[in-house]
A and B are shown apart, each in its own frame.
Chain A
Amino acid sequence: MTLLDQKKAPAATPPGPPGPTGFAAWLRDLALGIRFAAGGGREGWIRTALTAVGVGLGVALLVTAASAPHLLEERSARSQARAESAVPGGPDARAAKTDTSVLRVNAETEYRGRTIDGWLMRADGTRPALPPGVARFPAADEMVVSPALKELLDSSEGALLRERLPNRITGTIADSGLVSPGDLVYYAGSDTLTPDNGGHRIAGYGDPSEGEEMPPVLIVLIIMICVVLLVPVAIFIVTAVRFGGDRRDRRLAALRLVGTDIRMTRRIAAGEALFGALLGLLIGAVLFLVGRQFVGHIEMWNVSVFPSDLVPDLRLTALVVVAVPLTAVVVTLAAMRSVVIEPLGVVRGGRNRRRRVWWRLLMPAAGLAVLGLTGRVDEYSPVNPYPIAGGAVLVLVGLALLLPWLIEACVNRLNGGPVPWQLAIRRLQLSSGAASRAVSGITVAVAGAVALQMLFAAVGDEFTRMTGQDPSRAQFYTFSEKVDPGAANRTIEQFKATKGVKRVIGKVEVYVTRPGKFSGDDVRPTTSLIVGDCGTLRELAQIDSCKDGDTFVVHPRNDKEMSNWVDQTARKGKEVEIGAGLGGKPMRWTLPADSPTVTVRRDPMGEDSWGIMATTGAIDPTTLPGAMTQSQIRVDQSVPDVAEYVRNTAARIDPAMRVSSLTSVARDEKYASVQRGLQVGATLTLLLIAAAMLVSQLEQLRERKRLLSVLVAFGTRRSTLGWSVLWQTAVPVVIGLVVAIAGGLGLGAALIAMLDKEVTDWWLFLPMTGAGAALILLVTLVSLPSLWRMMRPEGLRTE
């Protein structure tokens, strides 16, 4: 007997408890995935970090978007709080003079393209009502300003503005008195303001009325903007969830070796993605909270936001918190269906199943059908946003779904060409999924933007109007109600002496009436008396010959009735009354008998002025009671800041003088602000898409590091590989842009039809397409240094 004889076979290991099934198995595998992602070493963390940062950026943007309702509410509330309070007794009722009432006049101005809201104020009593955010009423020659305006005035950039607003700054307006941190607002004290020189009495501040409702067309535009900006963000998140997928698949192959089945592997992969998405939620929250602290210092297209206004809507935030991790799991499971992971550490990247088109067409078709069935949006019935948003989302997401099939179908038909082209096309033929994902964001963004541009163009007529002004004859118009004698002449002279001013069409205008008694039913004949120099009068009427001392009777063009009406007052050799109705005895003046009759000429403002015109030698304008001064100013636009010189002169003459730029087209303010919102949002979305494309590009390059080094080893030129990367990016992008243009035009046409409008321009896709193409070029250029790095021989080292 030996020792060996005594040795007994070890008892068989009892079978372990059966593994969990169903939901428990799901949880186990997801948890396993999370553990792998968290404890997977450097590789695992790189992948998780890529996903987390990508998802984080998307989440931060979504949560910011979810803050929009609160933001708009708060801004609107503060805007209404600083409006004057309504006076009982209808819109024409005036506030009574009390101890708290205030006289004020709008002294809004503009500085280098930015509007500065301002008011001249004078207290009626000892306890004047204070605007929100203002602690003390400004005395004469004092002003309180918004922090942004103070900063501007204190800077060298604001030197010209300081000349215009010379009052001593005695305080700053608190946030409660500002719509946004970048607001340029001032309240200046005055001791000369009276109701006679433009002062308007108010009882207090705060307009409790409901804000003016948005026109339905604008609501449709806003819905579309939200859809167009947020769908690419969602697609970006979906893309980010798959960052680093190839590397993960290789690691998962090792798990297959130790016995995990295909389903378990997929669920483990989903668990890894879930971890990245959860981390992304956290990063998104941190980015949002940190970004929120700095948002007050950021200004984009004159739009700025108070951090306290950025409070996300609870329901929308909850939706993001639930939807993002869920998306991560679903997307990963779907993606894993096309990947075969085998136990021997090999991920077969062989031919994927052929993509089918029919189900991909369902979604955009359904979207168009929803939009078609929504019916017409008119200005009388309220807009139901859900079918419009839903239809647009279906169309745009449908385009993103259509893209992989189309790219595959197209690249499979491409062949031949030089080496870079062949490398790029073969790469796309082998696997176009990553390229499709990278491009889908930009496709959707461009498609949406094309549709939006079409919408803007189609409804633009409703929100823009031709002013009839001629900016080539004059660039500024000033108007003042200041009626002290001599003001008119002074105004014109001072504008003429302003730097950069080439010509001033300055006129002093009063109403003149026919003297005599008229019975109750008869209307007293009235017309205008316009006084100016010969140069001015020639701009207003078709005058051949003019010398100082001349007078003219000016008739409208082709309007006999109105001409007769003018002639009833402008009787040659007879007197007219000036200042009737102003109180006191009106002034009388005789229209010279030799005054010729001429026809009116449209002035640069696009207005016709008829009646009596007189040169300053014929009547002294400083003697005219109740005169208003208007100037139309032509400047040398090559002089820098010429507009500011003109406005400074105007402020010197009369701080309440209105100065406006002449423009041939005027846009509705709400429409303009919607367009500004689109610009801000589109910039953020495009930046996000660029980031996604760049990460995707770098990831692919990193995957191919060794191969790139090998290619360089056997003498491949850098330019060959550079071109191959460009083609590899450009081919899917071109296909994506074609899809975007077709989809965008279709969506745009459907929306325009819904608004009962006509497509005004089918070529509006060109700028957005250009922007998309520029983005691709930028991404390729930015990724080139990385490509050069990957091509270093170090990539060949294996030890």
Chain B
Amino acid sequence: MIPVGSLLSADSLHKAYGQTPALDGASFSIHPGEVVAVMGPSGSGKSTLLHCLAGIVTPDRGTITYAGRELSAMSDAERSALRRTEFGFVFQFGQLVPELTCVENVALPLRLAGAKRKEAERTARHWLERLEVDDVAAKRPGEVSGGQGQRVAVARSLAGSPKVIFADEPTGALDSLNGERVMQLLTEAARSTNVAVVLVTHEARVAAYSDRDVTVRDGRTRDLEHAV
């Protein structure tokens, strides 16, 4: 059943990798502008849930609905187009294209969506500025610190004006100070632009930035209301 007003929802998702079940009847929903933390121990299935919600992985069973559209009924090309235009992504590491400069990395989703180079880079610079890393715009990812790189990744996820950002352990490779700052900037920017954030983490202090927690254990979800 789809919760009223939800932007993205999943019901009874099942997914197995070979004989190993990753999701076993997981459900989820998120509203526009909402930040939901998906928590759980390592191997619990939280990343698989994120991948299913983002249309990267197709669940074996269950339904995912985004803005009234059934994700599993879409073709690969349609799901790719959706990811390009409606979703943004932040991962733990290895997400920036090492050969592109930071500004080119941020501009990449826009360019993939068909924007002109100069226009895309102008928008990218705006987001780099907002994420306080405009000074590294011309540098390559290999030449910036981990915290700066993660902020560039957040800028990239926001640059395409997405409706949902999927963040998989976005602070996992950062020290606590840098992690806090990245989370602060991400959630502030998302809330100010009414972007929903699906935040996969196993750290309570990161989850504290969310409006609501969903716990995943053995492939099943448990929803917890949570006051900020």
CB closest residue in chain B, given A428: B99
Asked whether A419 lies within 8 Å of B80 as measured between CB atoms, the reply is no
**A714 CB within 8 Å of chain B:** yes
| Chain A, range 251-275, C-beta contacts under 8 Å to B | none
Known contacts A430-B140, A798-B92: A419-B56 contact under CB 8 Å: no
Asked whether B112 lies within 8 Å of A427 as measured between CB atoms, the reply is no
**B138 CB within 8 Å of chain A:** no
Chain B residues lying within 8 Å of A350, measured Cβ to Cβ, are 140, 142-143
Contact with B along A373-411 (1 / 0, CB 8 A): 000000000000000000000000000000000000000
* Smallest beta-carbon distance B171→chain A, Å: 15
Asked whether A712 lies within 8 Å of B112 as measured between CB atoms, the reply is no
Asked whether A713 lies within 8 Å of B56 as measured between CB atoms, the reply is yes
| Chain B, range 133-153, C-beta contacts under 8 Å to A | 140, 142-143
Asked whether A419 lies within 8 Å of B108 as measured between CB atoms, the reply is yes
Q: Chain B interface mostly helix, strand, loop or mixed? A: mixed
Q: Which residue from B42, B104, B140 sits with its C-beta under 8 Å from A799? A: B42
Known contacts A793-B57, A796-B91: A714-B47 contact under CB 8 Å: no
Chain A residues lying within 8 Å of B140, measured Cβ to Cβ, are 350, 430
Asked whether B97 lies within 8 Å of A707 as measured between CB atoms, the reply is yes
Asked whether A715 lies within 8 Å of B47 as measured between CB atoms, the reply is no
**A781 CB within 8 Å of chain B:** no
**B81 CB within 8 Å of chain A:** yes
Asked whether A426 lies within 8 Å of B142 as measured between CB atoms, the reply is no
**A79 CB within 8 Å of chain B:** no
Interface size class on chain A is: 20 to 34
Most chain-B CB neighbours within 10 Å: which of A428, A429, A431, A707? A707
**B89 CB within 8 Å of chain A:** yes
Asked whether B89 lies within 8 Å of A713 as measured between CB atoms, the reply is yes
Chain A residues lying within 8 Å of B117, measured Cβ to Cβ, are 416
Contact with B along A634-652 (1 / 0, CB 8 A): 0000000000000000000
**B84 CB within 8 Å of chain A:** yes
Whole-angstrom distance between the alpha carbons of A364 and B104 in the complex? 39
Q: Which residue from A707, A717, A793, A799 sits with its C-beta under 8 Å from B112? A: A717
Q: Which residue from B42, B77, B84, B100 sits with its C-beta under 8 Å from A714? A: B84
Contact with A along B87-126 (1 / 0, CB 8 A): 1110110110111110010001101110001000000000
Q: Which residue from A423, A706, A716, A717 sits with its C-beta under 8 Å from B99? A: A423
**A711 CB within 8 Å of chain B:** yes
* Smallest beta-carbon distance A418→chain B, Å: 8
Contact with B along A418-438 (1 / 0, CB 8 A): 010011001111110000000
* Smallest beta-carbon distance B226→chain A, Å: 25
Whole-angstrom distance between the alpha carbons of A714 and B153 in the complex? 12
Asked whether A423 lies within 8 Å of B87 as measured between CB atoms, the reply is no
Whole-angstrom distance between the alpha carbons of A712 and B47 in the complex? 16
Chain B residues lying within 8 Å of A419, measured Cβ to Cβ, are 108, 111-112
Chain B residues lying within 8 Å of A717, measured Cβ to Cβ, are 77, 80, 112
| Chain B, range 35-70, C-beta contacts under 8 Å to A | 42-43, 47, 51, 54, 56-57
Chain A residues lying within 8 Å of B104, measured Cβ to Cβ, are 422, 426
Most chain-A CB neighbours within 10 Å: which of B42, B82, B108, B168? B108
Known contacts A419-B111, A799-B43: A714-B88 contact under CB 8 Å: yes
**B163 CB within 8 Å of chain A:** no
Known contacts A711-B97, A798-B92, A799-B43: A720-B57 contact under CB 8 Å: no
Chain A residues lying within 8 Å of B89, measured Cβ to Cβ, are 710, 713-714
Most chain-B CB neighbours within 10 Å: which of A429, A797, A798? A798
Chain B residues lying within 8 Å of A706, measured Cβ to Cβ, are 94
Chain A residues lying within 8 Å of B111, measured Cβ to Cβ, are 419, 422
CB closest residue in chain A, given B45: A799
Whole-angstrom distance between the alpha carbons of A798 and B200 in the complex? 13
Whole-angstrom distance between the alpha carbons of A335 and B19 in the complex? 44
* Smallest beta-carbon distance B50→chain A, Å: 9
* Smallest beta-carbon distance A700→chain B, Å: 12
Whole-angstrom distance between the alpha carbons of A370 and B95 in the complex? 52
Chain B interface residue count, Cβ-Cβ cutoff 8 angstroms:
37
| Chain A, range 336-350, C-beta contacts under 8 Å to B | 348-350
Whole-angstrom distance between the alpha carbons of A714 and B90 in the complex? 10
Known contacts A419-B111, A422-B104, A707-B94: A713-B83 contact under CB 8 Å: yes
Asked whether A796 lies within 8 Å of B112 as measured between CB atoms, the reply is no
CB closest residue in chain A, given B92: A798
Chain A residues lying within 8 Å of B88, measured Cβ to Cβ, are 714
Chain B residues lying within 8 Å of A427, measured Cβ to Cβ, are 99
Asked whether B99 lies within 8 Å of A713 as measured between CB atoms, the reply is no
CB closest residue in chain B, given A430: B99
Asked whether B81 lies within 8 Å of A715 as measured between CB atoms, the reply is yes
Chain B residues lying within 8 Å of A348, measured Cβ to Cβ, are 142
Whole-angstrom distance between the alpha carbons of A587 and B143 in the complex? 105
* Smallest beta-carbon distance B40→chain A, Å: 11
* Smallest beta-carbon distance B138→chain A, Å: 13
Contact with B along A702-739 (1 / 0, CB 8 A): 00001100111111110010000000000000000000
Whole-angstrom distance between the alpha carbons of A793 and B95 in the complex? 13
Whole-angstrom distance between the alpha carbons of A720 and B77 in the complex? 13
* Smallest beta-carbon distance A387→chain B, Å: 44
Asked whether B100 lies within 8 Å of A423 as measured between CB atoms, the reply is yes
CB closest residue in chain A, given B42: A799
Asked whether A715 lies within 8 Å of B85 as measured between CB atoms, the reply is yes
Whole-angstrom distance between the alpha carbons of A426 and B101 in the complex? 9
Asked whether A796 lies within 8 Å of B56 as measured between CB atoms, the reply is yes
Chain A residues lying within 8 Å of B85, measured Cβ to Cβ, are 715
CB closest residue in chain B, given A705: B94
Asked whether B142 lies within 8 Å of A349 as measured between CB atoms, the reply is yes
Contact with B along A422-462 (1 / 0, CB 8 A): 11001111110000000000000000000000000000000
CB closest residue in chain A, given B109: A714
Asked whether B142 lies within 8 Å of A429 as measured between CB atoms, the reply is no
Whole-angstrom distance between the alpha carbons of A426 and B89 in the complex? 22
Whole-angstrom distance between the alpha carbons of A431 and B140 in the complex? 12
| Chain A, range 674-717, C-beta contacts under 8 Å to B | 706-707, 710-717
* Smallest beta-carbon distance A579→chain B, Å: 90
CB closest residue in chain B, given A425: B99
Asked whether A349 lies within 8 Å of B83 as measured between CB atoms, the reply is no
Q: Which residue from A431, A714, A796, A798 sits with its C-beta under 8 Å from B83? A: A714
Known contacts A711-B97, A713-B89, A714-B89: A797-B112 contact under CB 8 Å: no
Whole-angstrom distance between the alpha carbons of A348 and B142 in the complex? 7
Asked whether B82 lies within 8 Å of A423 as measured between CB atoms, the reply is no
Q: Can you list the 4 inter-chain pairs with the closest CB atoms, starting with the nearest? A: A715-B84, A715-B83, A426-B99, A430-B99
Q: A715-B82, A715-B113 are in contact. List 18 more A-B contacts (CB 8 A).
A: A349-B142, A416-B117, A419-B111, A419-B112, A422-B100, A422-B104, A428-B99, A429-B99, A707-B94, A710-B89, A711-B97, A715-B85, A716-B84, A716-B112, A717-B80, A793-B56, A796-B51, A796-B91
Interface pairs (18), CB distance under 8 Å: A348-B142, A349-B142, A350-B143, A419-B111, A423-B100, A426-B101, A430-B98, A430-B99, A713-B51, A715-B81, A715-B83, A716-B84, A717-B77, A720-B112, A793-B51, A793-B57, A796-B51, A797-B47
Q: Which residues of B line the A interface, CB within 8 A?
A: 42-43, 47, 51, 54, 56-57, 77, 80-85, 87-89, 91-92, 94-95, 97-101, 104, 108-109, 111-113, 117, 140, 142-143, 168
